[in-house]
Amino acid sequence: MSPLTPLSQTLLSAKRRKGVSFAELETLLQRDEVWIASLLYGQATASPEEAEKLLAALDLDPELANELTAPPVKGCLDPEVPTDPLIYRFYEIMQVYGLPLKDVIQEKFGDGIMSAIDFTMEVDKVEDPAGNRVKVTMCGKFLPYKKW
């Protein structure tokens, strides 16, 4: 992991100190918890209202709203192949299922991609007696390749 910015460190340790969960911030900000987590990690841009509410909830200096509302330089993993086991599994999924996935998407949609910008991602817990399951749902706009 590349070092977090001072802003992210401030936000994450305030959250720990206040004992607030992302689920509680979801209720407060009316944004999905994954998006809120990405805001704390310096990967998204808040509106002034969102910044104000978040900083108040974490008892932080309202001045930080300035930085929270400016588009960040994104990307929070340092090595090209991530080493944290939880994150690596998603990399492995693309190693194993990337080309099959590409073929199925393109058979359904034609030549193009799923947007990672006009995009949402949600996490749910699926209760299962044989062991609970993590469900990750990604949903992005299909962008067809333009010809010119």
Query: Taking the complex as a whole, how short is the minimal distance between the CB of residue 129 and its own copies, in angstroms?
Result: 12
Does residue 56 belong to the site contacting its own copies (CB under 8 A)? Answer: no
Known active-site residue 89: yes
Backbone angles phi, psi at 12, to 5 degrees: -70, -35
Q: Looking at 18, 27, 62, 143, which residue binds its own copies (CB under 8 A)?
A: 143
57 lies in the site for its own copies, by CB under 8 A: no
Q: Clarify whether 92 is annotated catalytic.
A: yes
Distances (CA, A) of 76 to 42, 73, 107, 117: 8, 9, 33, 16
Which position among 17, 47, 115, 122 bears the catalytic label? 115
Which residues in 48-107 belong to E strands, given as ranges?
none
Q: How far is the CB of 130 from its own copies (least distance, A)?
A: 8
Residues 65-104 that bind its own copies (CB under 8 A): 66, 70-71, 73-77, 79-104
114 binds its own copies (CB under 8 A): yes
Token pair listed for 112: 């193009």
String marking each residue 3-32 x if it binds its own copies according to CB under 8 A: -------------x----xxx-------xx
Q: Which is nearer to its own copies, 41 or 58 (CB)?
A: 41
CA distance readout (Å), 102 to 31, 32, 79, 108, 140: 30, 27, 25, 10, 14
* Residue 141 structure tokens: 């706009």
- Contact between 32 and 61 under an 8 Å Cβ cutoff? The reply is no
Q: Which of 11, 14, 44, 58 binds its own copies (CB under 8 A)?
A: 44
Using only the alpha carbons of the chain, give its radius of gyration: 18
Catalytic sites, residue numbers: 89, 92, 115
